[in-house]
Structure 1
């Protein structure tokens, strides 16, 4: 008799648990907005800060643990930041931040209230992308909604939290999410290793690996070539090494000969050995993605960009938009750019007869390995023409 009672109680408990799951309210469509893809697939979307009428540019960043505004934007609106003892950490520095409290972000048909924006200087991002960057949208918004990101249509849909049926043909990741999503991946070169990586949609690259991870794992082939390259992030600019690894495997999806950056994690962004590095959006943009932080789900569905070739180009120079001009930034020693005589601070007038001064188009122009480019450069009062061959890192 006791066994019967116990079994009945167990069945009742199980049924109650299942019933509770069945009665979770379904997710509801709330809003949608278009977005622009910047270099490396980084998402730029537009929103307003109420009650102001100005449209602002925000980067969508799963690698951000909050939400932020650029210091110039804060000053423009006359907002009064409140100092704090909190710091934010990036690949190139650590900064103490202030906050503007209880703000409202306005998207089409959707107002997101009670937001605590931290204030940061994003002038470097504005310079890199040639677009005014007013802020970054991270966990503070991503945790409140289900986001469906479609790189085929360049559209994001916002859905309420709740039960959701994922489309067929994709794969469900179950990352660890403690403000930032962390996913286990298998990577292969000299050795095959499984490690944890930050799922970072704000990083316009395929992968970043820490130099400590590379040394401790003896992961990369000894004959790999490394190319010096400058990268930009929170805190400013930092020199890295660019190379290629044999394979990256995300769930069932394999990518071969993947370009990677290797950096000295001076500011302990990855808390190594907890993380081996960062998985960036130049690889992730090859999927339409559903972010469901409430259920700790990230759903990947291969899209029309899935089989696009990787960028193996190398010139050894960076382009920035500064004071109304496109200028050459750092020129790496021993690089093709240095070999032909290009210098930091040179103003780019045209590349291959394209005089339109679009930094996005110019960056695309120098990303075709093997191409020979004609560059018209202004240096002081003088104008020069240079012929530059784009090298391949493969």
Structure 2
């Protein structure tokens, strides 16, 4: 059964559904501070056949190409069933590739569709989606057939507006299971290698001068990659944790206090709106912990998110992990993710000692028309410099420090908001067709008790 899904039909719903079979899939996809956290139940994966991707040219051993890097996330070009080029976020936290939205004018030929219900974070009702099998995927010179795809029939995340560019979906497990994936976060280059022919560089996993690289065991459980690490809470307790390695999460660290009684929410936190789950809004707290240790690499004062169990609902603690390691930490390394050999290799890069980025303004923004430089405030944090200056959701940003907003990318704007505490940011605002300017003074929402000192343990 083939289905032709257009933009209009993706919004209005159920024209092409095979209603004889309805499955429930648990999916956690939390948009938070321009981050995506997700935790997808793999009951669907357990039913499907192994789906191989390979190089179009059977003699090819590897391919490398640049990627878009927006808010710590890797965006790759993907073609599905000979469609126009779509943009997908590379996401180790996703078991089955997901189509989150189609744009006006987009269309997609789908194979063998059936209706499913998706449950996720929040306390609302499950949403409708399509499960399509037997699709072809192309990523550069990589091609896969018989690929599964989940298509959300409601654009619940508005990823294109949040990231300022067209985002059509999430690309996950299938591409990792077939290749050794090398991510150069310092140059924004990604490489896919044939596991049968790839040779690690001599001494790659052996520490050299300065202990710059290390290989760690990668635990693959129900399609997702985990590592064992340590966190040090502010009371000094050192806790072993199992963390999901999530390239599709732009935060540093997410911790589940319900997974271990020793994991405590820090005393100094702020309550925040973390984002939207599939079934409603997600709230929680942000705070700094003392340290996180990954192998022999130690990071001081990382910012951790602690989702609220009530708004997060049924997902808390269900996948037997303590939290998530996101791309704000991963980008400090060049990373080799090796599912076939179950290891991950980390090499310090030029980002290693970067301070952890903090939005000190209290402003979240979106682009109502993606890829057009038209920026609107989507959320103002309570008690933040932005709220104290009288800014509101819906205000349009025209200028930032005398820079016209239309000359800036969404990344550029957040760079202004992440400057040092005490910096003045002058904004030109339009509200109800009235223009005015306002000054906000950036402020750390949580005090740092110790100075940042990212380091490598010397044994």
Provide TM-score, normalisation by structure 2: 0.73
Work out the CA distance in 1 between the residues paired with 2:197 and 2:119. 34
Alignment equivalent of 2:144, drawn from 112, 122, 129: 112
Is the contact between residue 312 and residue 369 of structure 1 (CA under 8 Å) also seen in structure 2?
A: no
1:367 equivalenced with 2:418 (yes/no): yes
SS in 2 for 1:217: coil
1:98 equivalenced with 2:133 (yes/no): no
1:281–1:269: structure 2 CA closer, same or farther, 3 Å change rule?
A: farther
Q: What is the correspondence of 1:218-229 to structure 2 with a 5 Å cutoff?
A: 219=264, 221=266, 224-229=267-272
Q: Which portions of structure 1, spanning 4 or more consecutive aligned residues, are displaced by more than 6 angstroms?
A: none
Q: Match for residue 160 of structure 2?
A: 126
1:90–1:199: structure 2 CA closer, same or farther, 3 Å change rule?
A: farther
Aligned length, in residue pairs: 363
1:267 CA drift (Å): 3.6
1:158-186: per-residue Cα shift (whole Å, max 9, x none)?
A: 11233644342421121221211122210
SS in 1 for 2:290: strand
1:84–1:212: structure 2 CA closer, same or farther, 3 Å change rule?
A: same
Q: Which moved more, 1:266-275 or 1:365-374?
A: 266-275
1:248 CA drift (Å): 0.3
SS in 1 for 2:367: strand
Work out the CA distance in 2 between the residues paired with 1:99 and 1:263. 29
Alignment equivalent of 1:339, drawn from 371, 384, 388: 388
1:368-388: per-residue Cα shift (whole Å, max 9, x none)?
A: 132210011111111111101
Q: Match for residue 230 of structure 1?
A: 273
1:246 equivalenced with 2:290 (yes/no): yes
1:65–1:234: structure 2 CA closer, same or farther, 3 Å change rule?
A: farther
What RMSD over aligned residues (CA atoms) do the two structures have, in Å?
A: 2.5
Q: Match for residue 387 of structure 1?
A: 439
Is the contact between residue 92 and residue 234 of structure 1 (CA under 8 Å) also seen in structure 2?
A: no
Q: Which moved more, 1:95-104 or 1:185-194?
A: 95-104
SS in 1 for 2:340: helix
Provide TM-score, normalisation by structure 1: 0.84
1:122 CA drift (Å): 6.3
Work out the CA distance in 1 between the residues paired with 2:122 and 2:200. 35
SS in 1 for 2:418: coil
Alignment equivalent of 1:202, drawn from 244, 248, 273: 248
1:273 CA drift (Å): 7.9
Is the contact between residue 92 and residue 238 of structure 1 (CA under 8 Å) also seen in structure 2?
A: no
Is the contact between residue 97 and residue 118 of structure 1 (CA under 8 Å) also seen in structure 2?
A: yes
SS in 2 for 1:314: coil
1:272 CA drift (Å): 4.9
SS in 2 for 1:322: coil
Is the contact between residue 258 and residue 317 of structure 2 (CA under 8 Å) also seen in structure 1?
A: no
Q: Match for residue 157 of structure 1?
A: 191
1:118-174: per-residue Cα shift (whole Å, max 9, x none)?
A: 112365211211111011110022111111111122111111233644342421121
Task: Please list every run of 5 or more consecutive structure 2 residues that lacks an aligned counterpart in the other structure.
Answer: 1-58, 208-212, 449-459
Work out the CA distance in 2 between the residues paired with 1:55 and 1:356. 28
SS in 2 for 1:143: helix
1:89 CA drift (Å): 3.6
Work out the CA distance in 2 between the residues paired with 1:35 and 1:255. 26
Work out the CA distance in 1 between the residues paired with 2:122 and 2:172. 17
Alignment equivalent of 1:300, drawn from 333, 336, 346: 346
Work out the CA distance in 1 between the residues paired with 2:240 and 2:173. 26
1:71 CA drift (Å): 3.7
Q: What is the correspondence of 1:1-394 to structure 2 with a 5 Å cutoff?
A: 29-39=61-71, 41-52=72-83, 54-72=84-102, 76-80=106-110, 82-85=113-116, 87=118, 89-90=120-121, 95-120=127-152, 121=155, 123-162=157-196, 164-167=198-201, 168=204, 169=207, 170-178=213-221, 179-189=223-233, 190=235, 191-213=237-259, 216-217=261-262, 219=264, 221=266, 224-232=267-275, 234-235=277-278, 237-265=281-309, 266-272=312-318, 274-323=320-369, 325-357=374-406, 358-370=409-421, 371-392=423-444, 393=446, 394=448
Is the contact between residue 229 and residue 317 of structure 1 (CA under 8 Å) also seen in structure 2?
A: no
Q: Match for residue 15 of structure 2?
A: none
Q: In proportion to residue count, which structure has more helix?
A: 1
SS in 2 for 1:142: helix
1:378–1:211: structure 2 CA closer, same or farther, 3 Å change rule?
A: farther
1:142–1:91: structure 2 CA closer, same or farther, 3 Å change rule?
A: farther
Is the contact between residue 265 and residue 306 of structure 2 (CA under 8 Å) also seen in structure 1?
A: no
Q: Match for residue 22 of structure 1?
A: none
